[in-house]
Structure formats: C-alpha cells, structure tokens
Amino acid sequence: MAVTDTGATERLEPEPDAAHDPSLSPAGGHVDHMHSPIPQVIHHQAPASTAVDQVDRAPRGVKLAKISQTGDRVFRALASTGALAIVLIVLFIGIFLLALALPSLQANQDNFFTSRNWSVGGTDLAFGIFGLFWTTVLSSILAMAIAVPIAVGVALCLTQYLHKRASGPVSFVVDLLAAVPSIIFGLWGLTVLGPFLAPAAEWLISKIGWIPLFSENIDPKGSVFVAAVVLAIMILPIVTAISRDVFAQTPRDHIEAALSLGATRWEVIRTAVLPYGRSGVISASMLGLGRALGETIAVMIILTTPAPGSPFSPSIFAGGETFASKIANNAAEFDSPAKTGAYIAAGLVLFVVTFAVNAMARIIADRGGAKS
Amino acid sequence: MSATTTTNTDAQLSFRRPSGIRTVKNGAATVFVTIATALAVIPLAWVLYTVITKGIRLILSQQWWLQSQRGITPRREGGGAYHAIVGTVEMALICAAIAVPLGILGAIFLIEYAKGTKVARAVSFMVDILSGIPSIVAALFIYALFITIFGLGRSAVAVSLALVLLMLPVVLRSTEEMLKLVPQELREASYALGVPKWKTILKVVIPTAFAGIMTGIMLGLARVMGETAPLLILVSYAVGINFSPTSDTMGALPTMINTGRDQPPQFPGYERVWAAALTLILISMVLNLLARAIARASKLKEK
C-alpha cells in the first residue's frame, strides 16, 4: 500500500499549464478539501465529473498511479463505528431501562406518578415517585437559583472587570472546584456546612415559617436546604465556565458602541454583554440543572431519609430522598427482578428528565448565536 | 448636550459624570460581582482546609500508602489506603482503555469525516445527552445489561464499563475541540503530498492535537476516579488488597469514605475517612493540574 502511495506522488509530473488552471492555482476558486481531501488529480479512476475534466485537460503521457483506498475505507469504517457505538449506547440506555422497568410498573398497585409509597420488599409492589420527584426538583431548582446569579456575577467579573492577569488565577480556582469529587462535598456538607447553615435555617423558620415551603422540620442539618447549597457549589464551575466563555465572545464593536454613547460599565454589560450572552447563560443553567438533578452521593450523604410512612412535607428544611439517592441508598438490596425493576423505573424517570433538560439546553444554545 | 448653543462653549463641553442613579447602579453592579467572586472562591478554600486539617496526619505516614485495611476495625488505629488506591486506579485505567480509543474515534468521525452533515449533528446531540447522563443512571444501565440480562455477577469490570459512559463524552469533546483547532493548511499540505486521508489523520492531525487530547484524558480520569454511584451499585467494597478486576469485591477510595463515614469522631476510623478524602482530592487535583500544564504547553492555542 505504501508503495503505491509514494508511487503516486513521484509520478505526478508538473502540468505545463498548471499555473493557469483555475482549479489548481491557490488564487482560483476555493477548493473544499474537507469533502474531497485527496488532491483531485489522483481521483482519475473515479467516475466523478470534476476528475474527468481534469484528466481531459491533462497533457497526454502523464500516468497517474492508482492509489489504494483500503486504508481510508478501514479507517473511515472504524471512526464511523465509534460514532455509531455512542449513538447505540444512548439508545440502549433508554431501551434497557424501559424493558426492565415495565414488568414492575405493570405489577405496581399504586399510581406511579402520584403515590409516595415505596414498598417493594414483599410480593405486592406498591410504589410511586411523587416524593422523590418533589425532593429532586426542589433541591435542584433551589441550587440553580443560588448558583446562577453567582456564576453570572463571577463570569462578568472575570470578563468585564478584572485584568487578564488577575482573571486567570480566579477562573483557575473556580475551575478547580469542579475537581473536588462529589463524595467529599457530601462529607463536608454534612459535617461542616450543615451545622454552619443551621442558624440561618432557624432564623428563616422563625420569620417566614408560616409558608409551607419554609415550615419547620425536625432535622435542619440534613435538609434539602443544605443539599441545595452543596449542589449550588457543585454546579457553580460549570455555569461559570460556559457563561465566561460566552461573555468573552461579546463583539468588541458592541461594547465600544455602548462606551462611545457614554454608558457606564454596568450599562455596557446590560446593553451589550448580557443580551449577547443570554442564550449561553440559559443553556449553561440548564446543564447545571441537569447535573444537579442527577447528583447522587453528595445528596445521599446529606439528606436525612424520612422514616417510612412519615407525613409529606413540602418544606426545604425537611429531609427526603431524590431519585438518585433513593437508588444508591438501596443498591445493596437489588435481589429480585421485580424489586430491581422498581428502582430502575425511578432511574428511567431520572434519565428522561435529565434528557429533556439537556436537550433543552442544547436547543437553546443552538438557537442563540453565541456558542460556548 | 443641547446647551452647546450658548456662547461659553468651554464650560458646556465639560463631560458630566453620569447622573446619580446611574452611578449608584454602576457601583451596585461592581459590588455584586465582587461579592459573587468572593462567594465562588470561598467553598474551595473551605473544603480544602477542612479535608487537609482532618486528614493530613495519616497521609504523611508511610504506612498509609503501603497497607490495606484488612483486619482493622473502626476502633483500631493503623492500616492504610493501598487497597483503595489500587482499586480506584485499576478501575479508572480499564475504563480509559475503552473510553479513550472510542472517544478519539468518535471525534475523528465528527471532525474529519462527517463535519457539517446531519449525521454529525445527530451524533453530537447524542454525545451531549451522554455527557448529561447522571452517574447513577449509567450504573443502573450496566446493572440492567450485565447483571440482570447477561446474568453476570457484580465486578470491578462492570464498574469500569459504567465509568466508560461518563468518561467517553469528556474525551470526545476535548478531542473534538482540539481537532477543530488543527489548521486546515496542515491537512492540505499533507494531501498535496499525496498522503491518504487516514495517514494524514494519524500522522499529522493527531500528533498536532496530542496535547489537547491528553488534557481531555486527564480530566476524564479525574472525573471517573471520584465517582461513587457506580461503585455502590456494581461492586462490593473490600478492605483487603485485590488486583483481579473480575472479582466481585474491590476497594476504592470513594467507597472507603462511604463505608467509614458513619463513625463517631472519636474513633480512629473517622480520621481515616478524612485521610481517604484527602488522598482522593490529591489524585484529582494532580490530574487536573497536569491537564492544565499540558494544555498550556500545547502548540495549539485558541485564538
């Protein structure tokens, strides 16, 4: 194969009128090498019309060697297989989870979406995801509400306020936050942050405890509130990094136009930077939300699991279980297929929800002009 | 500005400061971004401080790196994290052996073969979805596939396979970004010499993008080493040293933390939990810093 390859290059004799041929001269029409990467001269054995033109124009006596395309075909097939594998994996995740969850869902005696029961131990299955769904969504939305304003502030500070020399180390520190494993955030959240936030929680309860969302509960240490703050810290680097990249792409012209009209720095941000980066920030927030929804171990460590049968509490100061923490908490008990199926059904809902959130993030990012 | 018609032009041309409310708003914005930045920096320092002060004593002993927890109860001093480090590194390496080639091939397909086509958009969309999949769902999928359907037992290999799902998008995306940065002229120069496309990719494009690909691999490794959810579902925690990836018990740093975290603070086992946390952070940080160093030394720079 190598012999024919080099043979092709050696036997290529310069065409006398190559300099005048518009398709060969660099100044001529743009040759799109992405789609026809092999120099077109070598293509003469292919019946493509452009190749035929060139062979016709080539002077007689020039022999172009055949080039082996086996290597290309093999490599292309390999790369395509890799891509196909990724598509199949994602499809399989959905299909397999559905296939294993369906029998348990059919045997389920409670309403899957509205019940708060979770009794899967015996022969009769009765389970529902309402409680899990509430805790998951409440903690993630709260985390997003805390993290997004801070992330936007940091991203603005990094791109619009700080000098490049100062912004480098700061963004480095924020990025390093993403390097801390989630189990350590969980451990830290339970033992350090929880007690630290307890006075704030008690103050909130004493002031606005009459709102159900803030009503008092027994254990403010392992509450959704603490979990949400930890989740906020965990999604902060993601949202910051994407927002920073989008803000940094704000066209210089827009900023200078605003400045020349006498805008203050904040007005520049409000009129030029924020409108340009809006779709990027929304998309980043959705990605952060997706991460928060699926976070397992940190939430599992922090949240106090309520006793079975305890009354439902919508409060952020209550304990609870998310989809992920419920599955992880009970991972050791996957013994019968029916029981496992119930947990897989919960996992399937989590998959569908994160899929929807991530797809939305992607669509918003594509609609908006600024790409991260 | 309308007052410029008066005769005394010099006085009228003086640039006024923005009106009161505008100055206040501007100042408030500055205060807000400063506070936000401070709030973002505090957690890292706080977490590091907590973990280091509680775990540094054990980390510094040689025994920590050379012994396992076999025969050590929470009430006893001693033992180390060797078994957990071995497990964590081994599972991450098996995962990388699958995820790295697959990720690089996927990126090559997206950039070199299918750029701009509908297929590329579909694959790219799937990669986005994959990168958003929670680790617990990845673990459940492997559980469903290998344990429920194929009837295989729990094992460290199953964990590695679940980790592949998490590492793959990281490697693919960073490789893709790097391949995008490889100048088109380099490819064209290679094609002009008659080099086939596959050889151009292997000998020109990949070596040029090599540093960036390594960065992605490091970041992917750091991510999968800290994952706990697949370990909880797919393997049992072992306190002894075990090198076999097919055995159903294997130690790992995250599960070492998780099994020991319920101990009361006065037990020696409690300190070992924080030491394991510090070890895990150290590994993750080293990988991240290494990734950044490689990226900085890279020939390809974003414009």
Rounded mean pLDDT, A21-29: 43
CB atoms within 10 A of CB A63: 8
Secondary structure of residue B21 in the 3-state scheme: helix
Q: How far apart are CA B177 and CA B182, in angstroms?
A: 9
Q: Which of A156-170, A330-344, A345-359, B113-127 has the lowest mean pLDDT?
A: A330-344
For A26, A27, A220, A320, B250, the CA distances from A19, given in Å and listed in that order, are 9, 10, 80, 75, 68
B63-75 pLDDT per residue, tens: 888 888 887 777 7
CATH architecture of the region B82-297: Orthogonal Bundle (1.10)
If one counts every other C-beta atom within 10 angstroms of the C-beta of residue A163, the result is: 7
Average pLDDT over residues B105-109: 93
pLDDT at A168: 85
Tokens of B176: 């893709």
Mention every residue, 6+ apart, whose C-beta is less than 8 A from residue B12. Answer: B3, B4, B6
CB contact under 8 A, B135 and A187: no
Confidence (pLDDT) at A230: 94
Rounded to an integer, the average pLDDT of B5-25 is: 65
Query: What is the model's pLDDT at position B90?
Result: 93
Residue A26 has pLDDT above 50, yes or no: no
Q: What DSSP designation does A34 have? A: T
- The ranges assigned to domains in chain A are 2-57, 118-367
Query: What number is the average pLDDT over the span B18-44?
Result: 90
| Interface contact A172, partner B, CB < 8 A | yes
Residue B95: the pLDDT is 95
How many contacts does A have with B, using Cβ atoms within 8 A? 295
Per mean pLDDT, which range of A213-217, A323-327, A330-334 is the poorest? A213-217
Per-residue pLDDT tens for B175-184?
A: 998 999 899 9
Q: Domain spans of chain B? A: 82-297
Q: Which residue of B has its CA nearest to A75?
A: B198
- What tokens appear for B35 in the block? 């506070």
CB B144 within 8 A of CB A344: yes
* Confidence check: pLDDT of A232 > 90: yes
Give the rounded percent of residues in chain A with a pLDDT score beyond 70: 79
CB-based contact (8 Å) between A92 and chain B? yes
Measured between CA atoms, how close is A186 to chain B, in angstroms? 10
Report the C-alpha gap between B40 and B241 in whole angstroms: 39
Question: Residue B141 and residue A174: Cβ atoms within 8 Å?
Answer: no
**In the structure encoding, which two tokens stand for residue B96, read together?**
């990388």
- Distance from B135 to chain A by nearest Cα, in Å? 7
CB atoms within 10 A of CB A69: 16
Asked if the model's pLDDT at residue B101 lies above 50, the reply is: yes
The pLDDT of residue B5 is: 45
Q: Do B123 and A176 touch (CB under 8 A)?
A: no
Q: Which of residues 255 through 274 in chain A touch B, CB cutoff 8 A? A: 262, 264-267, 269
Q: Which residues contact B82 (CB under 8 A, 6 or more apart)?
A: B65, B66, B67, B68, B241
User: Does the distance separating the beta carbons of A71 and B199 come in below 8 Å?
Assistant: yes
Are the beta carbons of B281 and A181 separated by less than 8 Å? yes
Chain B: nearest CA to A105, how far in angstroms? 16
Interface of A with B in 51-70 (CB under 8 A): 67-69
Q: What is the DSSP letter of B150?
A: S
Interface of A with B in 136-155 (CB under 8 A): 149-154
- pLDDT tens-digit readout, B142-187: 988 888 888 888 889 999 999 999 999 999 999 998 999 899 999 9
Residues of chain A found within 8 Å of residue B105, distances taken between Cβ atoms: 78-79, 81-83
Strand partners, A127: A118
pLDDT at A270 over 70: yes
Mean pLDDT confidence for A73-77: 89
**B244: part of which helix (H) or strand (E)?**
none
Please state, rounded to an integer, the average pLDDT across all residues of chain B: 86
| Secondary structure (DSSP) of A130-193 | HHHHHHHHHHHHHHHHHHHHHHHHHHHIIIIIS-HHHHHHHHHHHHHHTTS-HHHHHHHIIIII
Q: How far is A146 from chain B (nearest CA, A)?
A: 11
Report the pLDDT value the prediction gives residue B172, as an integer from 0 to 100: 94
- What's the pLDDT at B299? 63
Which residues in B242-264 are b (16+ Cβ under 10 Å) and which e? beebebbbbbbbbbbbbbbbebe
Average pLDDT over residues A162-166: 85
Q: Is the separation of the CB atoms in B37 and A236 below 8 Å?
A: no
User: Which two tokens mark A206?
Assistant: 């004493």
Tell if the CB–CB gap between A76 and B113 is shorter than 8 Å: yes
Closest by CA position to A300, among listed A280, A274, A329: A329
Query: Is residue A199 pLDDT above 70, yes or no?
Result: yes
pLDDT at A219: 60
Compute the nearest-CA separation of A181 from chain B (Å): 5
Position B224 pLDDT exceeds 90:
yes
A126: which strand partners?
Answer: A119
Nearest CA to B40 out of A148, A141, A290 is that of: A148
Residues B127-139, mean pLDDT to the nearest whole number: 89
DSSP string for residues in A182-234: HHHHHHHIIIIIHHHHHHHHHHHHHHHTTSGGG---S-STTSHHHHHHHHHHH
- pLDDT on residue B168: 93
Q: Which residues of B17-49 are buried (b: 16+ CB within 10 A; e: fewer)?
A: ebeeeeeeebeebbebbeebbebbbebbeebbe
State what percent of residues in chain A have pLDDT above 90. 29
CA–CA distance from B13 to each of A44, A129, A240, B21, B22 (Å)?
A: 73, 69, 42, 22, 20
Fold exhibited by the domain A118-367: MetI-like fold (1.10.3720)
User: Which residues does A118 contact at the CB level (< 8 Å), separation at least 6?
Assistant: A127, A128, A131, A308, A326, A342
Distance CA B79, CA A44 (A): 71
Q: Which of B134, B229, B227, B135 shows the shortest CA–CA distance to A181?
A: B227
Q: Do A192 and B226 touch (CB under 8 A)?
A: no
By three-state DSSP, how is residue B230 classified? helix
Report how far residue B57's alpha carbon sits from residue B75's, in angstroms, rounded to the nearest whole number.
Answer: 17
pLDDT at res. B298? 74
Environment class of residue A2 by beta-carbon count within 10 Å: exposed (0-12), middle (13-18) or buried (19+)? exposed
Q: In terms of Cα–Cα distance, which of B265, B241, B186 is closest to B71?
A: B241
| Residue A206 to chain B, least CA–CA distance (Å) | 26
pLDDT for residue A30: 45
Determine the Cα–Cα distance for residues B302 and A269; give it in Å rounded to an integer.
24
Q: pLDDT class for B14, splitting at 50, 70, 90?
A: low
Q: Tell me how far apart the alpha carbons of residues B129 and B172 are, in angstroms, rounded to a whole number.
A: 13
